[in-house]
A and B are shown apart, each in its own frame.
Chain A
Amino acid sequence: MSEIDTSKLPQGGKGFVHDFAADQTTFKGVPWGKAMMWIFLLSDTFIFSCFLISLMTARASTTVEWPYPSEVFGLTMFGVEVPLLLIAIMTFVLITSSGTMALAVKYGYEKNRKMCAWLILATAIGGLTFVGMQAFEWSKLIFHDGVRPWGNPFGAEQFGAFFFMITGFHGTHVSIGVIFLFIFARKTFRGDFDTGRRGYFTSMKSDYKAIEILGLYWHFVDLVWVFIFAFFYLW
């Protein structure tokens, strides 16, 4: 596709009118893959919003006491009850992996193949750690505490259903992201983005722009966790 030098176009509000009044593409200078990823993430935002709004509705409309997440997800370390310990560590792990991804995108655009590949690999390992800790959290809640989608020992019965649905859907996103991060780490190490080698799945030429698109997805997963952390665990 032909590239547009957006620095020559009107900026800000005038740019907005200019782009939408254009007779060709609307998103000037935005690769189509990136625009499509953003549209997908927007639709995903609506899905997660529906989950969190349902959580709000269930919590606000039940007359039974809602389980207190601070205690449900607390861990006893060296005889001290620490609230939300595992969740806090998971949050920091995900933020760390988001930071390494941001740097991978930067080094990708600078065509620094090795740094980019190592950082993508670090991001993948961070994501894998997150999923691992989530598996631990789930098994503790299921086998140790006896939480089920239809009931739990702590309070309102809806709690389990919302917990498994919301964190499960997010965990699925993380797992899919981890798979793609490992694939991209391999592709980057192999030099696909420098040689323009055709992809095995899409048979399109590899381009470092794909790393930014993968990065958008990964940052979105982190973004969703910010809201889940606030509304499910802290509220």
Chain B
Amino acid sequence: MEQNNKKTTTHSIGIYLWIWGLLFVFSTFSYMVDWYNFQGLLRWSLIIFFMLLKAGLIMAIFMHLYWERWAIVNVLLWPMTAIMVFVGIMVAESEYTFFTRALYFVTGG
């Protein structure tokens, strides 16, 4: 069991320091998006890009998901598709709400 733990959960200190440094760099980049006041599609895509990069590094290395067996990795990651579907549903819903509000505020109901 000890051997097993050694193999699966302790890694050289270098990888943790690297990921730590990268998280700092990516956080700085995402802060720069606001600092330089990027707007529109560029802003949104950069925010999401750095967000996913940071989230991926934290989950894969800090939370050891990269070294876990596929059984638990799949159980944890597939439910995220349900969240994406929910996002899609609510985008449609909020656009409809915005449309009706704009319409009734203009026409007065």
Contacts and interface: CB of A to CB of B under 8 A. Distances in A.
Contacts of B107: none
Which bracket fits the contact residues of B? Answer: 35 or more
A39 to B, nearest CB: 8
Given A16-B71, A223-B58, A235-B47, A3 B1 contact: yes
A106 to B, nearest CB: 6
B101 A63 contact: yes
Interface string B80-106: 100100110011011101100110010
Contacts of A70: 34, 37
B42 interface: no
Given A234-B30, A235-B47, A61 B98 contact: yes
Interface of A: 3-7, 9, 11-13, 15-16, 19-20, 26-30, 35, 38, 42, 45-46, 49, 53, 56-58, 60-63, 70, 83-84, 88, 91-92, 95-96, 98-99, 101-103, 105-106, 109-110, 209, 212, 215-216, 219-220, 222-223, 226-227, 229-230, 233-235
B24 interface: yes
A106 B11 contact: yes
B62 A106 contact: no
